[in-house]
Amino acid sequence: MIGKFPDCHVFPFRWLLVTTNFRENKQPNNMKNIALILYRFSVIFCLQEFMLLATDWETTSAGKLAIFSMEHAPYPDTSRVDGYTRKDEFYPAAIHYNDQSVAIFVPAGFRPEKSVDLLFYFHGHNNNIRKSLDKFSLREMVFASGKNLILVFPQGPKDARDSGYGKLESIGGFKRLAVEVLDTLKMERVIEHQNLGSVILAGHSGTYRVIGQILKQGGMTDKIREVYLLDATYAQLDIFEDWITSDGKKIFRSIFTDHLAPENVTLMKNLSRQNLPFKLLAEEAVVAGDLENRILFLHAADLSHAETVNWLERFLRNSLVPDK
């Protein structure tokens, strides 16, 4: 159990109560009563806030994980207040769009610095935080990468065939969540300074939509240095192209199976028209030096859709983020 007693307003009210008692011969009784009431309420408030701040961290050899309820998590959101229908299947809001969870994973050996680098990972269809963490060994991959960063994993559409990410698709939505994450990390004493370093966005399958909208209007484009699309280039190719071409130092990775080959070819053609060099390789033929290319496309002919997520660790190993 890790908690930090909050900075609250008990002490001014206690001073008022003491001062009032000292002057009891000069102060009316209702003044003392008001001071006593304010003091008691402030104590109760502080205790309640402390209970909210006391967090259970799940610790393994890979690091520690906690799941927080955050105001600026993707859901609930007005875009899914009435649920969502895809083809003939209806997803009620109360079940699929009412979870404000955001998982934070701090890998073992993490070193607090003057700024903190964050990896935001997003899950695809029919998934949730818990299922994805275990199915794809996300904690283990982040730890094994050796990078000094923290994983942030917001709950998207919970166990639904839906690519929508609610508030994260709104103007400034990503910035609001990132600020809340930094506040939480400082409050939990994971970091000492609330300065954001670089951001990596990574996602599987239908997360092309949320990543694209974050790049377009999330409010922190200057902080986003790397993007990893794990069999996720279904659409919004123009947004990815604009982001890649906006800065000659940004890192872009796309690993794709056969069903997304046409979309990746289109993106490569568009980059070629702008004379931007990129590398296209067969996934099984990649060697260490290939991952130094700024713009990299990997064709995964022998991997399943889900198996492309395994490349997250290798992409991270070659990230610009410093090692632990």
In this structure, of 47-61, 85-99, 241-255, the range with the lowest mean pLDDT score is 47-61
Query: How is domain 58-317 classified at the CATH fold level?
Result: Rossmann fold (3.40.50)
Cβ atoms of 61 and 50 within 8 Å: the answer is: no
Domain ranges of the chain: 10-53, 58-317
What's the number of CA atoms in the CB half-sphere (13 Å) around residue 218? Answer: 28
* Residue 40 confidence class, pLDDT cut points 50, 70, 90: low
Cβ atoms of 117 and 151 within 8 Å: the answer is: no
Q: Is the pLDDT of residue 7 over 50?
A: no
pTM of the model: 0.84
Q: Tell me: cis bond preceding 92? Omega within 30 of 0 counts.
A: no
> So what's the pLDDT on residue 288?
85
For the chain, report the end-to-end CA distance as a whole number of angstroms.
25
Q: Is the pLDDT of residue 231 over 90?
A: yes
Four-point Cα dihedral 293, 296, 300, 304, nearest 10: 110
Question: What is the phi/psi pair of residue 145, to 5°?
Answer: -65, -25
Q: Is the pLDDT of residue 72 over 60?
A: yes
> So what's the pLDDT on residue 18?
46
**What mean pLDDT is reported for the chain?**
89
Q: How many CB atoms lie within 10 A of CB 226?
A: 22
Residue 3's contacts (CB-CB under 8 Å, 6 or more residues apart) are: 50, 53, 54, 55
Query: What's the pLDDT tens digit per position in 189-209?
Result: 999 999 999 999 999 999 999
